Structure 1
Amino acid sequence: MAKLLYITANPKGLEKSKGLQIGEAFLEAFQAELPDAEIKKIDLFEADIPQMDAELVSARGKIGGYGYKLEELEEGEREKYLAMHAVADEFVNYDYFVFVSPVWNLSSPPVLKQYMDNLFVSGKTFNYTPEGAKGALSGKKAVHIQTRGGLYTNTPMAELESGDRYLKIALKFLGIEVLDTVVAEGFDYFPKQVEEILEAAKEKARETAKQMAGAELTV
């Protein structure tokens, strides 16, 4: 059975968020193609995601760099280390990933980076090899649905956008195949064309969902 993890980073809720509305269009199309697919939703503004704070950084360093055993960590370090692994364990259990986020100040909401920080686990999502680090999640597929108030595509702003760029780099590092981003932009520039922009993005999302659902997964 296909398994899709739907990860959102928008605090507005479905009624007010254009990105979440586009995301729902994607899910409907994906389910139409794969009606038996298991889908889980994670709202990063509601989820309890470990933060890369002093305790978690220390725990990672002790175990990864200095050979500590789990039971040798301080209690707070151990709790956060286990919580990080729980996030990564859940992630690797899925075949498809959909990320939905807006552009905030040239990037994504901080909760998305916080979530991604938990996925970089040596021996689980990537491995160190003689040729360098190599992703361990090959055969899986992901897509980013991103909304932008401004205009970035084919403008000088393109090189300043770092949210979509970072997410694609991170996912590819883990070995995941990343489909073309579904972008809806210019909402602030063209307030009279909001519905038109939104509908075009929904149609693109539906097409991408069909592409993802129809693609053969490899192991």
Structure 2
Amino acid sequence: MAKVLVLKSSILGDYSQSSALIGHLMSHWQQQGAQMTVRDLAADPVPVLDGEIATGMRGGDNLSPRQQQVLDLSDELIAELKSHDTLVIAAPMYNFSIPTQLKNWIDLIARAGVTFTYTETGPKGLLEGKRAVVVTTRGGMHKEGASDHIVPYLKTVLGFIGITEVEFVYAEALNMGPDATAQGLLEAKTALDSLTA
């Protein structure tokens, strides 16, 4: 039975198209017996990385209460990620990139010596053997274009921690009129239906 960690990051709540598509995928995979864990990074946000937190992420004996709290949360998020086989990310495009809420999660799980390490030949990810599926929604048409900073960034950062099997599902043109919206969502759902847990 596949264990799937689902990350939602839209700030739009019930109006979120990325969350709706994630729900479609979850229903599809639950029928295949997948076990789902959902973390909504907008409804339950994690702290923004700052100097105090960055220093505390290195650990030590003299951490402030805030540093210890965030370090404990980082440990929890990493343990959660490690305990799942597949990571599903809802990544709506906000100003050509991922939501702040998702970036904050990444900043807390990308930790030297824990999810990646440096070697004589360069960095090495420590979370190998996992798979990621990214569902990305966009108001316009950005796939494979210079304006799409989501795909190269997520490929890079996930690969950096060892997750190199990354699939992207696109829902584009969602603000370009009713017909384009319907077509974009249909294409995304068709792509999601082709995925197995």
- The TM-score normalised by the length of structure 2 is 0.91
| Alpha-carbon contact 1:7-1:43 (below 8 Å) kept | yes
Aligned twin of 1:147:
137
Number of matched pairs: 197
Following superposition, the deviation at residue 45 of structure 1 comes to 0.7
Distance 1:54 1:19 in 2: 32
For 1:164, the equivalent position in structure 2 comes to 151
Of 131, 141, 150, the residue aligned with 2:121 is 131
Q: 1:188 Cα deviation (Å)?
A: 1.9
When the two chains are superposed, the root-mean-square deviation of aligned CA atoms in Å is 1.7
Matches within 5 A, 1:1-219: 1-14=1-14, 16-33=15-32, 35=33, 37-60=34-57, 63=59, 69=60, 71-153=61-143, 158-208=145-195, 210=196, 213=197
Alignment CA distance shift 1:74-1:187 (3 Å): closer
More helix by share: 1
Query: Residue type matched to 2:74 in 1?
Result: M
Q: Scaled by the length of structure 1, what TM-score is found?
A: 0.83
Q: Which runs of 5+ in 1 are unaligned?
A: 64-68, 214-219
Tell me which structure has the larger Cα radius of gyration: 1
Q: Which gives a bigger RCO, structure 1 or 2 (Cα 8 Å, sep 6+)?
A: 1
**How many percent of aligned residue pairs carry the same amino acid?**
28
1:44 CA displacement? 0.5
2:102 is matched by which residue type in structure 1? L
**SS of residue matched to 1:196:** helix
Question: Is the partner of 1:4 in helix, strand or coil?
Answer: strand
What are the Cα deviations for residues 173-192 of structure 1, in whole angstroms up to 9, with x where unaligned?
11113333100101222433
